[in-house]
Amino acid sequence: MTSPFQASSSSNSSIRDLIRHNQDKKSFRKTIEVWIPRFLFLLASLSVLTTVGILIILLTEAIEFFKTVPILDFFTGTVLKPLSQTPAFGILPLVMGTLVSSGIAILVAGPIGLMAAIYLSEYASRRVRSVLKPALELLAGVPTIVYGFFAFTFVTPLLRQWIPSLEATNILSPGLVMGVMIIPMIASLSEDAMRSVPQAMREGSAALGSTKLETALKVVVPAALSGIIASFVLGISRALGETMIVAIASGSSKNFTFDITESMQTMTAYIVEVTSGDAAAGSTVYYSLYAVAMTLFATTLLMNLLAGKIARKFREVY
C-alpha cells in the first residue's frame, strides 16, 4: 500500500486536472444557461413570425390584386365571375354566402348550446355531467370533412323530402350541420361562464323562493352574460372560417341571394375552388384568392378580438 504522501507529485497534477476539468464543466454549464433562454426565445417568437408572415403575404398579394381590380369594385360588386371571358370580381356574393351559412349555424347552435350549458351548469348531477361533457368533447373532435360528408349525403337528401325545391347543393344543409359542429364550443364556453357565477347568488335567489328555472334565467344567465355573448361571437367566427362542410355541401354557384334553398359559395369555399383548379400564379384569379383570404382573416380576427373584449370589459366582478 502506498502512502498518499509518496505519490504527492502525481496526485497534485491529477487534482489540478480535476479542477480544470471542473472549471471547464462549469463554464460549459454557464454557456448553456446563457444560450438556452435565447434559443427558447427564438422558438417562442416563431408564432409572432407566423402572424407577421400571414399579414405580409395577404397584404402584398391583395395589393397586387387591387392594381387590376379597383378596391371599391371588389367590396361593392355583387357579381363574381372569375373565369368568364369578361371577368367580374365582386366579393359580395361570397360575403352573402358566408353570412347566411354562419347565420343559420348560430341560429341552431346559439339556443341549443345555451340551453345545454344551462342544463350542465344548473340542473345536471355530477354523474350526468361526467358523462355528457366528454361526449360533447367527442362531438367537437369529429373532423369537419366527416361533417361535410354527412351534410352532403344525409342531411340534404333528408331535407329534400320536406323541401322539394331544395337544390342538391344548397346553403341550408351545411349551415345546419355547422350549427351542430359549434354546439360543443358554445355549450362549453357558456357553461364555464355560468359556473364562475358564485354559488351564493344562486342560494340567495333560492332563499327568496325562486325555482331553479327562475334562478337560472334571472340570476345566473344575466350574471354570466358577457361570457355567453363572447361564446356566441367565437362560435360565429368559427363558422365564418369553416371550410370543408360548405365546400362539399353548398356547391360553387356565386349567387347573390337570400334564398337558402339555393347553392351559394362562401369565402372559404371560393379559396378551395380556386386553389384546387389550376389558376396560374400571377393571374387575376390567383390574386383574388389573397384578397378574399384577407377579408376572411380580417373578419375573424375582429370577431375574436371583440369576443375577448366583451368577456373582459363586461365581466361582473364579485
Partner 1 sequence: MLHTRQSPNSSRIRFRLLADRSAKIMFGAAALFGIVIMGILLVRITSEGLSWLSLDFLTGRFSTTPERAGIMGAVLGTFWLLAVVVPVTMLVGIGSAVYLELYSKNGKIRTFIQTNIGNLAGVPSIVFGILGLTVFVRALGFGSVVLAGGLTLSLLILPIVIVSAQEALRSVPHQLGDASYALGASKWQTIQSVILPVALPSILTGAILALSRAIGETAPLVVLGIPALLIPFPGGILDRFTVLPMQIYYWTLDAALVADYAHLAAAASIVLLISLFLLNGSAIYLRNKYTIKA
Q: Between residue 70 and residue 99, which ones bind partner 1 under the rule CB under 8 A?
A: none
Q: Which among 75-83, 89-97, 146-154, 223-231 is the span making contact with partner 1, rule CB under 8 A?
A: 146-154
Cell numbers describing residue 64: 397586387
Q: How far is the CB of 161 from partner 1 (least distance, A)?
A: 15
Euclidean distance between CA atoms 291 and 293, whole angstroms: 5
Task: Tell me if 41 contacts partner 1 by CB under 8 A.
Answer: yes
Q: Which of 90, 93, 174, 184 binds partner 1 (CB under 8 A)?
A: 184
Short-list 59, 54, 53, 70, CA closest to 284: 70
Cell numbers describing residue 6: 509518496
Task: Tell me if 280 contacts partner 1 by CB under 8 A.
Answer: no
CB 156 within 8 A of CB 166: yes
Residues contacting partner 1: total by CB under 8 A: 88
Q: How far is the CB of 110 from partner 1 (least distance, A)?
A: 11
Q: How far is the CB of 154 from partner 1 (least distance, A)?
A: 5
Euclidean distance between CA atoms 164 and 145, whole angstroms: 26
Region 199-258 residues binding partner 1, contact defined as CB under 8 A = 211-214, 216, 234, 237, 240-244, 247-248
Task: Tell me if 197 contacts partner 1 by CB under 8 A.
Answer: no
Q: Which of 149, 201, 229, 256 binds partner 1 (CB under 8 A)?
A: 149
Which residue lies nearer to partner 1 by CB, 100 or 183? 183
Euclidean distance between CA atoms 287 and 270, whole angstroms: 12
Q: Per residue in 31-69, is it b (16+ CB within 10 Å) or e — as a string?
A: eeeeeeeeeeeeeeeeeeeeeeeeeeebeebbeebeeeb
CB 214 within 8 A of CB 207: no
Region 116-145 residues binding partner 1, contact defined as CB under 8 A = 116, 118-120, 122-124, 132, 134-139, 141-145
